Structure 1
Amino acid sequence: MREHDRLFIGGEWAAPAGTATIDVISPHTEEVLGRVPEGTEADIDAAVAAARTAFDHGPWPRMSPAERAEVLGRLSAIYAERHAQMAELVTAEMGSPAGFSVFGQALIPQMVLQYYVDLAGTYAWEEERQGMLGPVTVRREPVGVVAAIVPWNVPQFVTLTKLAPALVAGCTVVLKPAPETPLDAYLLAEWMVEAGLPEGVVNIVPAGREVGEHLVTHPGVDKVAFTGSTGAGRRIAALCGERLKRVSLELGGKSAAIILDDADLAATMEGFKLASLMNNGQACAAQTRILASRARYAEVADALAAMVGGLKVGDPADVTTEIGPLVARRQQERVEGYIRIGQEEGAKVLVGGLDRPHDRGWYVAPTVFGDATNDMRIAREEIFGPVLTLIPYEDEADAIRIANDSDYGLGGSVWTADVDHGVDVARQVRTGSCGVNLYVLDVNTPFGGYKDSGIGRELGPEGLAAYLEHKSIPRPAG
């Protein structure tokens, strides 16, 4: 039992303003495994005040990028040494299989941090340009106090995609973890103290949506960075728009995997274990629409059903488990609701369905729908669970059309024996990323979405630019 009775504000473990608490429930055992204070609006006020003081008067934004990178480099070294501890904690919190957690929930977040530590030394923080009337100095300066609001599915990855560039830029941060997964943020705070991060640079307040909205609208916050549902993103965008507050949004997806006729089906099915079913299907970029030509449709359907039906479902702490429980009972009920919707719409369950694989824990059977069309709700709405929808296409142009016929535009993939041709097809898919014979996020390159999948980009140099303002300083010639 991990129990915390304080919030991390101003570099100290501060007593919360209220008395309410958040129970962290194991999705495998349905038992309480941790407890933290539930932050209030007064706690947000205190956290923003601490971040504001640290930005307006503290050393952090006045350090050189190299000096900030030195501090963050110490944090990165601690993270690298203890990443297994973080992976184990996230698995306990939200049910991510241990085999995925080591990489996706701990090593990748540490790699994101180290990437920005390294980028600090090569980024063009200031440059000289020739203007119309004389030389101009163009500076990149930190945007200010950042509200970072993160979801429960990959809490450390999303936290570091915001924290790392914001901190390298010289910003200060108020982090609001999701109520389902606050424990990993506490562990990160302990490491930040050990690394010597100045007080007030990062402040952590777990809270629900209403308190989160208070953070978004707080006049002391200069920028909001949010990852979560498209519905919540619309609300945050509207609130920020009213206040002309900087905002970046990484939202939902309904990504399509196009299987071309020359694809190696065995390799493709193996690739789908990560691309389509990573983190128990609880991934915004998961390839959940599987597009197969009518010529190979039956063959693909059999292969997909065999692969999904053969996955080991069980205790997420077991390294051999491939599919663990969903994060909460409401998520289990939501996903099962979509399975019912798919059946009502006329799609055929090829494997899986509504029979739960375990009596205890928030498990859903990995499910594949066949005989589906792209206008069905199971093909258009984000399910966020281990449910795949197999859709036939007539020819390559039709496959691209179906892939693009979505309100979302986050990820996608093309599976083929001809990689160069796969890249040509990927260029025609209107998404922020589209892999060929795989789907992964690369910390060196931008990640984000078209259409309802968000605004802005994270990762790569573009992710750092999101936390910087540009200032021009012209002067006379001579």
Structure 2
Amino acid sequence: MTFTPPELRTWIDGTPEASDLELDDALHDPNTGTVLQGNRASSPAQVERALAGAWSAHSAGTWRDLGLAGRAALLHRFADLVDEQQTTIAELDSLNSGVTLRETTLFASSLAGTVRGAIALAERRGESAELAADQGPVRLRRVPWGPTALIAPWNAPAAVAVKKMAYALLAGAPVVLKPSPASPWSAQLLAAAAAEAGLPSGVFALVLGGGEVGQQICADPRVKAISMTGSTATGRLIAQASAPNLTRLRLELGSNNPAIVLADADLAATVEDLAAGMTKLNGQWCEAPRRVLADRAVYADLVAGLAERLRRTRVGSALDADTEVGPMAFRQRRDDLEAQRAHLVAAGASAAHRTDVPGGGWFLAPTVVSSSGPVDLPGEVFGPMIAVEPFTTVEDALVRSNAGPHGLAGYVFAGDVERAIAVGGHLEAGEVKVNGTSLLDMCADSAQSFFGDSGLGGHGDADVLEFYAGKQIVGVDLVDAPM
């Protein structure tokens, strides 16, 4: 693939401009470690102009007063333009994240559908509704909170950014998007599509940078809502920065998601499902299984099966069609995982993995860590590594599963599906899957809250749409009310 990285520009009022600041951390090809581009950030003055534009658009009603039909028409155009760029978006996201091109292509091909699905949902829900009242008209209206900050992660850059953009914009909120400084490329294509689609001045801005830019955005009182996907540490910083303004927050953070394997589980299928779940997106997805608690009757066989399956996993360049697990997104991510693995081994656990991974890039062999007692994971494991420990009673497994960081997802494997669902109901997690580890929602009406320390809010399409706007009642007051 011939690759020319896009210029890292800041977009304000539909116009791109040079990002003023140079960052120390260059952007590398994670497959080889080769420097591809110097990194850049928006200056404080540029961020201020982006925020001022969003506030002006909100105050003037530029976007809100178009109505849902007017906003939807422009977003249909945005979806068409993004669809035309799906091949390039997939390539950019693969090089930024290390996720295989096969997987980023699936994400990129679904972006337009995400926008169109959001439009359809918004149209079914409507912007207002007449409520039953005897004294005269009473109307429920959905009113956007105001300028909204969208902070996207590095592991699925375009997919997360597009979903946040679609739902916030449909709700009538002007948005300021900040991608991760580790994965800023595909956001350039999204900004260009938003400009070409004709979004009014101030309705969309793209700013670049790390924590300093995030701090400036999140602490600004003109920002009325923040939707962020990322680490728990970053989520806490956002909560602290925005607390004085009582900004509305939706934070999807980290979780060492547990998987409970009961004695009657189909072990061969469980091995395949766990291996698939822990290596999907190179293990770099927030709901991947991280901790397995297996009934003692099947513990040894499960560990052996996982070790053998992971040794057969094809590790290689994210751009190769036959690769199952690509490199980590950046060197520090690989180094942190290696340090976590070493910590667990030093604490007495065993680690099984292949040793012939490619050199030069940020590769980590998929690893199963096992111990005859509880495994104390040193923080969230965000990569292709999974820990397995035995349990004697289901009650004990649930207590250990519900110890943090937790709350996003959980898994139960069993032959008796009804028992598995009953066990899963005791996990403190917003989504619990039985006998599978897919990345997708289980049904069209799926919804989940972020439990424990995994965040604030939740997801499920209807809930996401609801986050970006408040409810207002306008109507004729009661006649002769007793109070």
**Contact 2:6/2:188 (8 A) holds in 1:** no
Deviation at 1:71, TM superposition (A): 1.6
2:398 corresponds to: 400
Give the one of 181, 186, 191 matched to 2:193: 191
Q: What do the CA deviations read for 1:420-441 (whole angstroms, capped 9, x no partner)?
A: 3332222221101111122333
The 10-residue stretch of structure 1 (251-260 or 468-477) with the greater mean CA deviation from structure 2: 468-477
Kept in 2, the 8 Å contact 1:441–1:447? The answer is no
Please give the secondary structure, in 1, of the residue aligned with 2:357: coil
1:75 alignment counterpart: 78
2:463 partner letter:
E
**Corresponding residue of 1:272:** 274
Shift of 1:264: 1.9
CA offset at residue 246 of structure 1?
A: 1.3
The farther-off stretch of 216-225 and 336-345 is 216-225
Q: Which residue does 2:416 correspond to in 1? A: 418
Unaligned runs of at least 5 residues, structure 2? none
Post-superposition CA distance 1:296-328 (Å, at most 9, x none) = 111111111111111000100012101111111
Q: Is the 8 A contact 2:168 2:468 kept in 1?
A: yes
Residue 306 of structure 1 pairs with residue 308 of structure 2:
yes
Partner of 1:27: 30
Return the offset for 1:89: 1.4
User: 1:348 deviation in Å?
Assistant: 0.9
Q: 1:471 to 1:373 in 2, by over 3 A?
A: farther
> In the aligned structure 2, how far is the partner of 1:3 from the partner of 1:390?
42
SS of residue in 1 equivalent to 2:42: coil
CA distance 1:66–1:445, shift in 2 (3 Å) = farther
SS in 1 for 2:187: helix
Evaluate the alpha carbon distance shift between residue 16 and residue 99 of structure 1 in structure 2; reply closer, same or farther with a 3 A threshold: closer
Q: Deviations over 1:45-72 (max 9, x none)?
A: 0111122222222532111212212221
In the aligned structure 1, how far is the partner of 2:291 from the partner of 2:8? 44
Cα separation, 1, equivalents of 2:449 and 2:74: 28
Residue 214 (structure 1) shift? 0.6
Are the counterparts in 2 of residues 372 and 389 from structure 1 also a CA contact under 8 Å? Answer: no
Shift of 1:8: 1.0
> Per-residue displacement from partner, 1:280-311 (whole Å, max 9, x unpaired)?
11111110111211001111111111111110
**Partners of 1:18 and 1:58 in 2: CA distance:** 32
For residues 96-135 of structure 1, what are the structure 2 equivalents within 5 Å? 96-103=99-106, 105-130=107-132
Q: Residues 161 and 236 of structure 1: is their aligned pair in 2 closer, same or farther, counting only changes over 3 Å?
A: same
Post-superposition Cα deviations, 1:331-384, rounded to whole Å, max 9, x if no partner, equal 1110000011001111111334xx572220011111111115445135xx2021
Contact 2:406 2:428 in 1 (8 A): no
Separation of aligned partners in 2, 1:77 and 1:17: 31
State the match for 2:385 in structure 1.
Answer: 387
Q: Secondary structure at the match of 2:202?
A: coil
Q: Quick one: distance in 1 between partners of 2:449 and 2:99?
A: 23
Which amino acid is the alignment partner of residue 418 of structure 1?
D
1:360 matched to 2:360? The reply is: yes
Q: Distance in 2 between matches of 1:15 and 1:282?
A: 31
In structure 2, what is the Cα distance between the partners aligned to 1:85 and 1:16?
22
Structure 1, residues 174-233: CA drift from partner, whole Å, max 9, x if none? 111111110010011222233332232211111011121011111221111111111121
In structure 2, give the amino acid aligned to 1:420: E
Tell me by how many angstroms 1:388 deviates: 0.6
Distance 1:437 1:111, change over 3 A: farther
Match of 1:458 in 2: 459
1:38 matched to 2:36: no
> Is the 8 Å Cα contact of residues 135 and 477 (structure 1) preserved in structure 2?
no
Runs of at least 5 residues in structure 1 that lack an aligned partner in the other structure: none
The percent identity for this pair of structures is: 33
Mean Cα deviation higher: 382-391 or 116-125: 116-125
String of CA shifts for 1:261-281, please: whole Å, max 9, x gaps.
222222222222432221111
Which residue identity is paired with 2:75? L
Equivalence for 1:430: 428
**Separation (CA, whole Å) in 1 of partners of 2:74 and 2:203:** 12
TM, length-normalised to structure 2: 0.92
Q: Residues 446 and 463 of structure 1 are in contact (CA less than 8 Å); yes or no, is this contact kept in structure 2?
A: no
Q: Distance in 2 between matches of 1:59 and 1:243?
A: 24
1:5 and 1:278, CA in 2 relative to 1: closer, same or farther beyond 3 A? closer
RMSD: 2.2
Amino acid at match of 2:367: T
Shift of the alpha carbon at 1:398?
2.9
**Structure 2 CA distance for aligned equivalents of residues 424 and 189 of structure 1:** 46
Contact 2:39/2:181, CA 8 A, preserved across alignment: no
TM-score normalised to the size of structure 1? Answer: 0.93
- Give CA-to-partner distance per residue, 1:36-94, whole Å, 9 cap, x none: 53112111101111222222225321112122122212222333444232112111112
CA distance in 1, matches of 2:330, 2:449: 26
Residues 135, 418 of structure 1: CA spacing in aligned structure 2 closer, same or farther, 3 A cutoff? farther
One-letter code aligned to 1:404: N
Compared CA separation, residues 172 and 464, structure 1 to 2 (3 A): same
Distance 1:405 1:19 in 2: 41
TM-aligned CA deviation for residue 403 of structure 1? 1.8
Alignment deviations for residues 85-105 of structure 1 (CA, whole Å, 9 cap, x no partner) = 2112111112101222222x3
Shift of 1:171: 0.5
Deviation string, structure 1 residues 95-143 (Cα, Å, up to 9, x no partner): 101222222x323444432221111210142223346976532211111
Equivalent of 2:219 in 217, 224, 228: 217
Cα displacement string for residues 398-449 of structure 1 (whole angstroms, at most 9, x for unaligned residues) = 3323222333211111122333333222222110111112233327533442
CA distance in 2, matches of 1:372, 1:67: 61
Tell me if structure 1 keeps the 8 A contact 2:228–2:251. yes
**Cα pair 2:142 2:469 within 8 Å, conserved:** yes
Q: Is the 8 A contact 2:294 2:389 kept in 1?
A: yes
Q: Secondary structure at the match of 1:249?
A: strand
